C-alpha cells in the first residue's frame, strides 16, 4: 500500500533537484584541498570558481551537455565541437626563448621565439579568463607508461570537453596515484575560448599556443581544438626524453606480435595510416601516435588514441569503430538529429573529424602500454599525392636515415587549419610540426639504435596509385594491410627485388594478394610519359628539401636519395 504523501518507484534522492550537483561540489572541493595554495598563488580566484579535479566521465558528460551543447551519440560517445578551429594552428605555435633551453631548441619556422615577458602576459590573460568561469576543470595524469621516464601533467581548462579529452589521452592515475600526485612536472593553461591580443609583442593572430620549458608550462589562447593540448604534451616529451633522459622520442604508432613478440614502429604524419595500420587484430597495440624507444624497449607516451573518423566504417576499421562508445569523444562529427547516429562521410564541418578514446577500448591493446623488447621492424609511412612512390620498398640503413630526415608526405585535408587538398610536404623526422631539437639529433639516435639491434626498415606509401591526386586513387587499404602482414611474417625478407629507377628503391616483384601493377607504380600508369615527369618532379623536390641537412650527414646518406641526371 502506498500512502498519499509517498511517491512510488522514485529513488529518494531524485526528489532533491540538486542532489548530484551538491555531491559533486563536496567531492571535488575536498579532493583538491591540499592544492588550494598552489591555485591561489597561480592567480586563481578560489572564492569564485569551482574546481573539478579528475571529474568522473559521467559528470563531464552532464556538464558538456548542460553547458556546451554537446549531445550523446547513438553508440554512447559524446559529440562535441571545437568551434572555428578544427585543426592545429602551427603558425601560431611559440617557444619561449630562455637560458635553460635556448641552446637545445631548433629555432626557425617550426619553433618560433617568444620572449618571457610576452609569455607572462598571455599566462595572466589565460588565468584571468579562467577566473570568469563558473567551472574550472583540472585533470592530473601522466605522460609515459614507463615509470622511469614518465612526467606528471596537469591540465587546467574551462570546458568539460577538454577535460574529458585529456582524461582519455593522458595516462589515468589510480586513486592512490592521484592522492600522492604532488607537484606536476608540466602544466597546461587552456583558455582557448578567449583570444590572444594581436597587438601583444610576437602575436601574429588571435591564436597563441606557447610553451615555456623553464617554467614547464603551456598556454593556449584563441583555439578550442583539443589536439593542441595533446601535441603540446608531445612537444615537451620530444624535448625531455633526449635531453633529460637520453631516450629517443618518436612520432609513431607501435604494436607487438601475439605469437613472436616482435615489435614494429610505424612513423608517419596525420593521415598516413599510423592509427589504422597499427590497430591489427593479430597484434597487440602499444599505442597509435607517440612513443619512446628506450634502452630497454618501447613505451607509449599516451593513455588513449586520437583517430581520424572520415569515411570510418565497421567493415574497414572495426577496432576503431567499436571503440566509439561511452567515454569516447567524437569531435566535429556530423550526426543525424533524429537518431543521433554519426555520419562519418559528412565533411561539412571539417575533414579532420576525430574520436578520442582510452586505449583500453581497443580489445587487443597491451596494458600497460610498454614492452621490454627492441623493435624488429620500422615502417615509414608516406602519403604520396604524386602517385609515383611504390606501396612498399626495403630501405638500406643509409636510405632509412635519408627518408627519416626528409620525412616526405602530403598533408591531407583537415589535419591543419586551411588544408583542403593534399599538399606535398617534407616533415623532418615525420614530426616537423612537433619537433623541438635539431633533426640530426633524433636521426643520429635512430641510426645508432637501428644498427645496434639490426632493425629492418620499410617505406610504405598509402597515397595515390595509377595517377596523381585528381586522376589516380588512394592505394586500397586491403593491399596496404597485406603488405604490412608480409613485413610481420618475414615474407618480404625472402622476396626478390627490383630497383625502382630514379629513387633507387628496392621493391618486391611479388607479394601474395597484391597486384603486380600496384607494386610497381610505372605499371599502374597508362600515361608513361606523365609518370616519368612526376617522378623527376618529386625527385627534384626531395633534393631541394634535403639541402637543409646535407652538411650534417655522411656522404653515404646524402647519396641515398633520388638522383636526377
Q: Helices (H) and strands (E) in the chain — how many of each?
A: 16, 28
Find all residues with CB under 8 Å of 496, minimum gap 6, and list them: 508, 509, 510
305-336 b/e (C-beta count within 10 Å ≥ 16 → b): bbbbbbebeeeebebbbebbeebbbbbbbbbe
Contact assessment for residue 305 and residue 319, using Cβ atoms and an 8 Å cutoff: no
Task: Provide DSSP, 199-258.
Answer: TSTT--SS-EEEEETTTTEEEEES---THHHHHHHHHHHHHHIIIII--EEEEEEEEEET
By residue count, the chain amounts to: 565
Give the active site residues: 88, 231, 251, 270, 274-275, 289, 354
Task: Return the residue matching grid coordinates 613472436.
Answer: 260
Task: Return the residue matching grid coordinates 608540466.
Answer: 186
101-130 b/e (C-beta count within 10 Å ≥ 16 → b): beeebbeeebbbebeeebbebbbebbbebb
Nearest to 184 by CA among 146, 162, 147, 215: 215
CA distance 30 to 28: 5
Q: What is the dihedral of CA 223, 119, 215, 128, to 10 degrees?
A: -70
CA distance 147 to 523: 50
CA distance 380 to 430: 8
Decide: residue 58, CB within 10 A, 0-12 exposed, 13-18 middle, 19+ buried.
exposed
Q: Angle at CA 419, nearest 5°, toward 414 and 425?
A: 110
Task: Provide DSSP, 394-418.
Answer: EEPHHHHHHHHHH-EEEEPTTSBTT
Contact assessment for residue 290 and residue 301, using Cβ atoms and an 8 Å cutoff: yes
| Kind and range of the H or E run holding 55 | none
Report CA torsion sign: 219, 223, 225, 228.
negative
Nearest to 61 by CA among 52, 302, 179: 52
Displacement of CA 165 from its chain's centroid (Å): 12
CA distance 559 to 543: 10
Cell of 513: 594478394
Amino acid at each position: 500500500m502506498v500512502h498519499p504523501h509517498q511517491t512510488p518507484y522514485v529513488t529518494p534522492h531524485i526528489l532533491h533537484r540538486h542532489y548530484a550537483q551538491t555531491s559533486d561540489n563536496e567531492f571535488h572541493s575536498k579532493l583538491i584541498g591540499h592544492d588550494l595554495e598552489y591555485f591561489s598563488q597561480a592567480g586563481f580566484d578560489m572564492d569564485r570558481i569551482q574546481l573539478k579535479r579528475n571529474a568522473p566521465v559521467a559528470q563531464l558528460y552532464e556538464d558538456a551537455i548542460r553547458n556546451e551543447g554537446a549531445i550523446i551519440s547513438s553508440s554512447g560517445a559524446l559529440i562535441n565541437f571545437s568551434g572555428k578551429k578544427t585543426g592545429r594552428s602551427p603558425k601560431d605555435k611559440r617557444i619561449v626563448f630562455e637560458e635553460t633551453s635556448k641552446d637545445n631548441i631548433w629555432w626557425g619556422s617550426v619553433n618560433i621565439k617568444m620572449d618571457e615577458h610576452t609569455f607572462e602576459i598571455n599566462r595572466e590573460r589565460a588565468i584571468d579568463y579562467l577566473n570568469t568561469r563558473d567551472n574550472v576543470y583540472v585533470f592530473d595524469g601522466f605522460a609515459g607508461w614507463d615509470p622511469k621516464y614518465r612526467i606528471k601533467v596537469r591540465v587546467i581548462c574551462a570546458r568539460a570537453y577538454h577535460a574529458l579529452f585529456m582524461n582519455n589521452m593522458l595516462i589515468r592515475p589510480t586513486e592512490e596515484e592521484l592522492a600522492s600526485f604532488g607537484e606536476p612536472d608540466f602544466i597546461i593553461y587552456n583558455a582557448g575560448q578567449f583570444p590572444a591580443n594581436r597587438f601583444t609583442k610576437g602575436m601574429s593572430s588571435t591564436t597563441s599556443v606557447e610553451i615555456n620549458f623553464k617554467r614547464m608550462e603551456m598556454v593556449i589562447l584563441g583555439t578550442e581544438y583539443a589536439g593542441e593540448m595533446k601535441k603540446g604534451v608531445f612537444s615537451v616529451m620530444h624535448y625531455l626524453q633526449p635531453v633529460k633522459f637520453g631516450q629517443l622520442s618518436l612520432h609513431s604508432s607501435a604494436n607487438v606480435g601475439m605469437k613472436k613478440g616482435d615489435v614494429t614502429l610505424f612513423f608517419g604524419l596525420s593521415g598516413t595510416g599510423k592509427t589504422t595500420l597499427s590497430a591489427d587484430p593479430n597484434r597487440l597495440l602499444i599505442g597509435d601516435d607517440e612513443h619512446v624507444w628506450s634502452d630497454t624497449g618501447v613505451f607509449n607516451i599516451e593513455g588513449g588514441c586520437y583517430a581520424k573518423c572520415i569515411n570510418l566504417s565497421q567493415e574497414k576499421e572495426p577496432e576503431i569503430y567499436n571503440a566509439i562508445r561511452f567515454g569516447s569523444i567524437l569531435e566535429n562529427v556530423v550526426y543525424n538529429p533524429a537518431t543521433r547516429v554519426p555520419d562519418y562521410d559528412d565533411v561539412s564541418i571539417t575533414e579532420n573529424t576525430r574520436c578520442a578514446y582510452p586505449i583500453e577500448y581497443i580489445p587487443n591493446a597491451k596494458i600497460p602500454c610498454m614492452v621490454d623488447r627492441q623493435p624488429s621492424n620500422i615502417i615509414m609511412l608516406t602519403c604520396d599525392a604524386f602517385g609515383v612512390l611504390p606501396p612498399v620498398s626495403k630501405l638500406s640503413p643509409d636510405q632509412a636515415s635519408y627518408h627519416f630526415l626528409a620525412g616526405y608526405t602530403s598533408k591531407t585535408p583537415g589535419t591543419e587549419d586551411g588544408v583542403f587538398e593534399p599538399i606535398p610536404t617534407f616533415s623532418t623526422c615525420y614530426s616537423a610540426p612537433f619537433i623541438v631539437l635539431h633533426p640530426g639529433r633524433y636521426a643520429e639516435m635512430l641510426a645508432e639504435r637501428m644498427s645496434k639491434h639490426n632493425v629492418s626498415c620499410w617505406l610504405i606509401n598509402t597515397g595515390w596509385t595509377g595517377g596523381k591526386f585528381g586522376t589516380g586513387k588512394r592505394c586500397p587499404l586491403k593491399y596496404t594491410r597485406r603488405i604490412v602482414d608480409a613485413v610481420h611474417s618475414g615474407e618480404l625478407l625472402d622476396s626478390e627485388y627490383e630497383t625502382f629507377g630514379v629513387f633507387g628503391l628496392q621493391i618486391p616483384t611479388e607479394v601474395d594478394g597484391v597486384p603486380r601493377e600496384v607494386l610497381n607504380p610505372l605499371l599502374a600508369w597508362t600515361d608513361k610519359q606523365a609518370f616519368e615527369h612526376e617522378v623527376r618532379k618529386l625527385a627534384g623536390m626531395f633534393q631541394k628539401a634535403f639541402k637543409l641537412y646535407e652538411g650534417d650527414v655522411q656522404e653515404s646518406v646524402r647519396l641515398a636519395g633520388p638522383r636526377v641526371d
